[in-house]
Chains A and B, each alone.
Chain A
Amino acid sequence: MLSPLGLILIKDEDAMSSEIVKAEDIEKSFGGIKVLDRVSMAVSAGEICCLAGENGCGKSTLIKVISGVYPHDGGRIELNGREYQRLGPIDSIREGIQVIYQDFSLFPNLTVAENLALNDQVESGRSLVSWGRVRRIARESLAMIGIDMDIDKTVGELPVSSKQLVAIARAVYCNARLIIMDEPTTTLTQKEIESLFSLIRGLREKGISTLFVSHKIREMLDITEKITIMRNGRVVVSGYTRDFDEIKITQAMTGREISGDRFRWSGNTGEPPLLRTEKLGRSGAFQGIDLTLRRGEIVGVTGLLGSGRTELALALFGKGPSDEGRIFRNDREIVIKSIQDAIANGIAYVPEDRLTEGLFLEQSIERNLFANIYRKFINSVGLLDFRKVRAAASEKARQYGVTAPDISLPVRSLSGGNQQRVVLARWMSTGADVLILNGPTVGVDVGSKFEIHKKLREITESGVGILIFSDDIQELIMNCNRIMIIHKGSFTNEFRSDTLRESDLIDCLNASR
């Protein structure tokens, strides 16, 4: 039942090319849409490379072609000097290509030992399982990457970083010559990223290459030697990492100059502020917060983890409300004790983890857009007027630049940036004029980030005030006219961003550490 062996055209054992993968002019279409357009890339033995690009640029498809999951429509694929006309997953594995997907493809219901030995078990074509052999393979493969762990634990009990180690050990044991890692750093802490990188460098010493697939530019500059950047199904640039810097890569990935203009506020300080707090506090979280937000302002709040930043954001939205101090809207005192209070007072909140907190993933884009305001579409008989909903949803999606083939598709099918736009559009449609954003661009690729920032600036033109809670310093400097630093629950500094340097802000944050 294994997939048919690819046809080997060139069988030249002596021509041991040092190129593990050589893909030339690869083409791939899905339903008439060209996803890969004459893409070429190569990885040689002992190299650490990066394949970068925004979501939907075709990098995942390229990986699937190289690993034999998708057949290619055109072009040539050579693995270790052999050309394959039809590459199957098993062929690719036999040539030493191992892909570690974001979900690691581990089996949480099985033990570490079995997870480590399973690929070998299947690949070797054995029909019986010898448990002694399973344990031996497990110990050997962990030893190969110099890691020690309990092989009898079920993988479901392990933390993410250990799961990744299991996945790497499994790949190495399967005689990997090239390990392809899809977004390996997303769920790791800084320390775990560092130990991952030193492990990868150790593998290079053994002649094992690594190809990172990522859109995290900064990390990739640290570790990779070569970089290939894709956009819209094409390779836009490829070369040695030392010839690149962050700006160059960003431009190549997005295909546009990321606007360098800082946000400027040109409002009137004489008007009553949209939102003002006086000595706001919540025991154990923050205290004495004096915050002012005026019409059309974007105010940033930043601080280290545990500084009370998130608690303040949530309190203003009525979740874990404040227990002392006062809140004013246009100089009129209001009470925010619940989320309902906040919404009734025209305050909207876009959570950090939009996936679990902000969206109904399985529901349609349309339904997500109007989840908060369905009441507006009830007709005279008390039923929803779906024609009206549909029309309004299309209009909203267009207005907020949500690119989707059909608004009846589930939100899950959208890219991170598009999902964020849906959340934004939904909250703005409640008619709120105070918008609180918590980490608005976490996990969003560079291009979408830019689009979101542009949208935020547009929103302020209608007089909406925005509060951004973020630890992305650059994002704050570029998009806020004022930035507040919060430390141990109190504001310690306030910066006007038009003259602020990034280093000043970082110094200030570090000083409070």
Chain B
Amino acid sequence: MNKILSKNEFWLFCILLILSCIVGGINDAFWSGTNLFSLFKSSVVMGIFALGVLIVILSGGIDISFPAFAVFSFYITVKYLLYIKFTGSILIPFAMAMAIGVALGLMNAFIISTFKLNPLIVTLGTGSAVTGFLRAFVGTGTLSNLPQPLIDFSRWNIYTETLADGSVIGFSGSFLILAALIVIMALILRNTTMGRGVYALGCDSVAAMRAGFPVRGIYYFIYGLVGALAGIAGIVHCSLIRLANPRDLEGTELEVIAAVVLGGASLTGGRGTVLGTVLGVFLIVLIKGSLILVGIPSDWQKVAIGLVLISATSITAYRAMRAGM
């Protein structure tokens, strides 16, 4: 019992539950299918990003280039598919965007591991360069007529319900992608040598090297994986909003990092869980999506997220300090 009480995830879950009850108590529209389905839908892109950020943070690094990579991969993919008038399987755009994301991620890994640079600076640089390159050479126009497979994907629901007024709402199938990625990531981190290597690296890179871990290889794995996830998230994002806008997603990196930290990951590396991260994402999405329901103006969302982030991390830090004594 004590073990459960000392877990960050348990408290996050409680906060999530309490917050839901408060919002639902004030405005019962919160519990409507429309709202809940839309909350889940909006957690997909952020959740995929967060899984990537989690693994980087676990390794003791940080990545703020992933939104730029996501935009780069989906925009080029969509533009190319429109050019060849693509109508094939949805897997192709995903594979393309992933490949682009991986290539960009490996570039991060190469720079970070070769020149031993601070990942914050490197990803700040590559993110900015990639964004600029995209706008200068590929285009700045919004593509609103997506290829048919992407439109089909956005309409894919695993469950639909017809409301009294005759409108149809559905639980987006894209959530399955997030769910699958959550399971895969949890397995990678818990049950593979590579995953344990990420924890080891984040704790002490010299010791990880001494233990025989191929440290450079782990860097390539991590940043490549982040790139792949960024590619997936990019395609999901543009397909869900049915728009490929090269100016999208800018600034989401901070929100995602906030969610991961809220989920209990330590910015110094080596500590954090997939479950915590997922709960952190849900919490941020809940705050963002529900404050409007209780009549709090949307400008206050940012304030609320900031306050939650600071109070949650200070509670964790305070508990750690107490335990240390």
Of B197, B207, B212, the residue contacting A103 (CB under 8 A) is B207
Of B194, B200, B216, the residue contacting A118 (CB under 8 A) is B200
Given known contacts A107-B204, A109-B270, A129-B193, A90 and B199 CB-to-CB distance under 8 angstroms: no
Cβ of B190 under 8 Å from chain A: yes
Cβ of A127 under 8 Å from chain B: yes
Cβ of A333 under 8 Å from chain B: no
Instruction: Scan residues 94-116 of chain A and give those whose CB is less than 8 A from a CB of chain B.
Output: 99, 101, 103, 105-110, 114
- Cβ–Cβ < 8 Å partners of B271 in chain A: 109
- Cβ–Cβ < 8 Å partners of A89 in chain B: 209-210, 212
- Cβ–Cβ < 8 Å partners of A2 in chain B: 212, 214
- Cβ–Cβ < 8 Å partners of B211 in chain A: 105, 118-119, 122
Rounded to whole Å, the gap between the CB of B281 and the closest CB of chain A is 22
Main secondary structure of the interface of B (DSSP, over half): helix
A114 touches B207 (CB 8 A): no
Rounded to whole Å, the gap between the CB of A202 and the closest CB of chain B is 25
Q: How far is the CA of A393 from the CA of B72 in the complex (A)?
A: 53
Instruction: Scan residues 198-237 of chain B and give those whose CB is less than 8 A from a CB of chain A.
Output: 199-200, 202-204, 206-214, 216-217
- Cβ–Cβ < 8 Å partners of A105 in chain B: 204, 206-207, 210-211
Cβ of B192 under 8 Å from chain A: yes
Contact indicator per residue, chain B 262-301, by CB within 8 Å of chain A (1) or not (0) = 0000000011000000000000000000000000000000
Cβ of A66 under 8 Å from chain B: no
- Cβ–Cβ < 8 Å partners of A1 in chain B: 214, 216-217
- Cβ–Cβ < 8 Å partners of A110 in chain B: 196, 199-200, 203
Given known contacts A122-B193, A129-B191, A107 and B212 CB-to-CB distance under 8 angstroms: no
- Cβ–Cβ < 8 Å partners of B200 in chain A: 107, 110, 118
- Cβ–Cβ < 8 Å partners of B195 in chain A: 129
Given known contacts A1-B217, A107-B199, A128 and B191 CB-to-CB distance under 8 angstroms: yes
- Cβ–Cβ < 8 Å partners of B206 in chain A: 105
- Cβ–Cβ < 8 Å partners of A128 in chain B: 191-193
- Cβ–Cβ < 8 Å partners of A103 in chain B: 204, 207
Given known contacts A105-B207, A109-B271, A126 and B193 CB-to-CB distance under 8 angstroms: yes
- Cβ–Cβ < 8 Å partners of A365 in chain B: none
Interface size on B, residues (CB 8 A): 26
Cβ of A121 under 8 Å from chain B: yes
Given known contacts A89-B210, A105-B210, A128-B191, A121 and B196 CB-to-CB distance under 8 angstroms: yes
- Cβ–Cβ < 8 Å partners of B193 in chain A: 121-122, 126-129
Q: How far is the CA of A101 from the CA of B206 in the complex (A)?
A: 11
Closest chain A residue, CB of each to CB of B271: A109
Given known contacts A105-B204, A109-B203, A129-B190, A118 and B196 CB-to-CB distance under 8 angstroms: yes
- Cβ–Cβ < 8 Å partners of B197 in chain A: 122
Cβ of A123 under 8 Å from chain B: yes
Cβ of A93 under 8 Å from chain B: yes
Q: How far is the CA of A110 from the CA of B208 in the complex (A)?
A: 12
Q: How far is the CA of A101 from the CA of B204 in the complex (A)?
A: 13
Of B190, B192, B207, the residue contacting A107 (CB under 8 A) is B207
Closest chain B residue, CB of each to CB of A69: B210
Rounded to whole Å, the gap between the CB of B190 and the closest CB of chain A is 7
Contact indicator per residue, chain A 74-96, by CB within 8 Å of chain B (1) or not (0) = 00000000000000011001000
Rounded to whole Å, the gap between the CB of B7 and the closest CB of chain A is 13
Closest chain B residue, CB of each to CB of A88: B212
Closest chain B residue, CB of each to CB of A90: B212
A129 touches B203 (CB 8 A): no
Closest chain A residue, CB of each to CB of B217: A1
Closest chain B residue, CB of each to CB of A99: B210
Q: How far is the CA of A109 from the CA of B202 in the complex (A)?
A: 9
- Cβ–Cβ < 8 Å partners of A123 in chain B: 212
Contact indicator per residue, chain B 171-196, by CB within 8 Å of chain A (1) or not (0) = 00000000000000000001111111
Rounded to whole Å, the gap between the CB of A170 and the closest CB of chain B is 9
Rounded to whole Å, the gap between the CB of A92 and the closest CB of chain B is 10
Rounded to whole Å, the gap between the CB of B112 and the closest CB of chain A is 16
Instruction: Scan residues 1-16 of chain A and give those whose CB is less than 8 A from a CB of chain B.
Output: 1-2
- Cβ–Cβ < 8 Å partners of A101 in chain B: 210
Q: How far is the CA of A327 from the CA of B213 in the complex (A)?
A: 61
Given known contacts A99-B210, A107-B270, A114 and B196 CB-to-CB distance under 8 angstroms: yes
- Cβ–Cβ < 8 Å partners of B190 in chain A: 129
A93 touches B199 (CB 8 A): no
- Cβ–Cβ < 8 Å partners of A106 in chain B: 207
- Cβ–Cβ < 8 Å partners of B270 in chain A: 107-109
What would be 28 A-B contacts, judged by CB atoms less than 8 Å apart?
A: A1-B214, A1-B216, A1-B217, A89-B210, A89-B212, A90-B212, A99-B210, A103-B204, A105-B206, A105-B207, A105-B210, A106-B207, A107-B199, A107-B207, A107-B270, A108-B203, A109-B199, A109-B202, A109-B270, A109-B271, A110-B199, A122-B212, A128-B192, A129-B190, A129-B193, A129-B195, A129-B196, A131-B191
On B, residues with C-beta under 8 Å from A are 190-197, 199-200, 202-204, 206-214, 216-217, 270-271
Nearest 9 interchain pairs by C-beta: A1-B214, A1-B217, A105-B207, A109-B270, A122-B212, A107-B203, A109-B203, A105-B210, A129-B191
A-B contact sample (18 more), CB < 8 A, given A127-B194, A129-B191: A1-B217, A89-B212, A105-B206, A107-B199, A107-B270, A109-B202, A109-B271, A118-B196, A118-B200, A119-B211, A122-B197, A122-B212, A123-B212, A127-B192, A128-B192, A129-B190, A129-B192, A131-B191
